[in-house]
Structure 1
């Protein structure tokens, strides 16, 4: 496992790299770190893939934009630059925010991706209407509105040595001890500027007056013309798996849609059940071939 950097303009994104074969980019979510992909990366590398897991925009001092742009539009741009640096076409795996970026990127730029696997996030196109049919998700998503406020979210997360981060991990993946994974996440989120950057992703969601945000809204309405797999844990305390009943439509995924709910897994399903998730990921990777 090597420590490398990916570059987009003046931003430098620390990343993990391992393996030899078709390229796979793995994108983490909140409140997490790219370093927690290491176990999955080893399993995928053993299956014959080159794996790269970069920090998301803002999750290291070297990739915090001076403009404060933490929009999904900017995150998609980061991803496309990474894909080009790896040869132009890649497999993509995303968890949480990483999955949200993946849905948008694959909808807008399908030619850049061979396959896409979304972990813990259902398809986005029909999600707004699905929220009306799964009222429990309104409560589960309350943290998103809270994180859009000034000052208060930082104070809550930072209290008692980032105990707010601990609370989210245990709430979203109950009945599981995250151990070193949580330690890694707390270390990353404790670095200068990272917590503010991570919260910036939430605060940009409501900036609907920005041209880039309007473009993202248009991308949400596009079909995803990349073979797509969705994996969710049955015990997810962040995103209700019931959303799948209202978000899935095969017509939205003309290149194929594969969905599974994993028992005894929560929001961090790839960390809780690494071998099972890797097995599903590898099977999906084999459904597509990157011509690089």
Structure 2
């Protein structure tokens, strides 16, 4: 049974879904998505004996808007480390899109809190900036990121015609797949007051190289990952080219090992497009990564 709960960080209250009992698994969503769309994984993890928790990420609900305007990766990673500590540590970490990027940082920052890391749709970020320059099509695929850093215009573009821009992104990033109810969930989430701007502010913080938050996140990014790691990308991903894996996966960066899977007939939202395949790979990875207490 899925329960609605809250995780708390200072004055921010993060709505979350929880299912099952056992070792904790944190599920982190990305953009343009929402925590409700982890339902296939919540049920599979609970059935396998885990306690799965899927929180809204910073800014993705009115109750967890950052009053100080901080949507840096440092702040997001600290949220996740805070959640893991509240759950008692030894947490399995699973992230998609932005959630995967934050997962890499959180695992590098505080490896003692995590038993494993699973990253969906985002290659290892330590070598990603240089890898993008070696995969020419990624420069085109990533053009939206610079657009999202503009003031006001991205909000207007995505909001018009009942958030049709969100649907366009889903169709582009997962070609040939109908998002159905999952897309409807994402649109409802991003239609809440303040949420779309908060979600875009994650992108607007990226070029703030001069800030202490950016510098600290870069230090974490440069570290090796000390927990067993699984990286999964869809072969039809229209957001992140699978060719990036050739230039970002280096076994020396993963002290407890790394497994890479490319998933056929799946795009960017691979956990929703191919839930049975993703759940099988995820559960095998978690079973091979027991909690270190």
**Correspondence list, 1:204-215, <5 A:** 204-215=205-216
**Correspondence list, 1:20-31, <5 A:** 20-31=21-32
Alignment partner, residue 159 of structure 1:
160
- Spell out, residue by residue over 1:14-62, the C-alpha distance to the aligned partner (whole angstroms, 9 max, x if none): 0000011100000000000000001111011111100000000000000
CA distance in 2: counterparts of 1:134 and 1:82, whole angstroms: 35
Q: Is 2:13 the partner of 1:12?
A: yes
- Spell out, residue by residue over 1:137-184, the C-alpha distance to the aligned partner (whole angstroms, 9 max, x if none): 000000000000001100110011100000000000011111000000
Q: Is 2:283 the partner of 1:282?
A: yes
Shift of 1:214: 0.4
Alignment partner, residue 187 of structure 1:
188
Q: Secondary structure at the match of 2:166?
A: helix
Q: Secondary structure at the match of 2:108?
A: helix
Alignment partner, residue 62 of structure 1:
63
**Correspondence list, 1:1-292, <5 A:** 1-291=2-292
- Spell out, residue by residue over 1:74-109, the C-alpha distance to the aligned partner (whole angstroms, 9 max, x if none): 001110111011112200000000000000111121
Q: Provide the alpha-carbon RMSD of the alignment.
A: 0.7
Shift of 1:291: 4.5
* Count of residue correspondences: 292
Q: If the length of structure 1 is used for normalisation, what is the TM-score?
A: 0.99
CA distance in 1: counterparts of 2:290 and 2:276, whole angstroms: 22
CA distance in 2: counterparts of 1:117 and 1:171, whole angstroms: 24
Higher mean C-alpha deviation, range 103-112 or range 166-175: 103-112
Q: Which segments of structure 1 move beyond 6 Å, counting only runs of 4 or more?
A: none
- Spell out, residue by residue over 1:202-240, the C-alpha distance to the aligned partner (whole angstroms, 9 max, x if none): 001111111111011111111111100000000000000
CA distance in 2: counterparts of 1:216 and 1:283, whole angstroms: 30
CA distance in 2: counterparts of 1:203 and 1:290, whole angstroms: 36
Q: Secondary structure at the match of 1:70?
A: coil
Higher mean C-alpha deviation, range 139-148 or range 125-134: 125-134
Shift of 1:287: 1.4
CA distance in 2: counterparts of 1:39 and 1:194, whole angstroms: 24
Q: Secondary structure at the match of 2:8?
A: strand
Q: Secondary structure at the match of 1:206?
A: coil
CA distance in 2: counterparts of 1:215 and 1:161, whole angstroms: 38
- Spell out, residue by residue over 1:244-270, the C-alpha distance to the aligned partner (whole angstroms, 9 max, x if none): 011110000010100010000000000
CA distance in 2: counterparts of 1:252 and 1:85, whole angstroms: 28
Structure 1: gaps (5+ residues): none
CA distance in 2: counterparts of 1:220 and 1:5, whole angstroms: 29
CA distance in 2: counterparts of 1:14 and 1:108, whole angstroms: 24
Structure 2: gaps (5+ residues): none
CA distance in 2: counterparts of 1:115 and 1:148, whole angstroms: 32
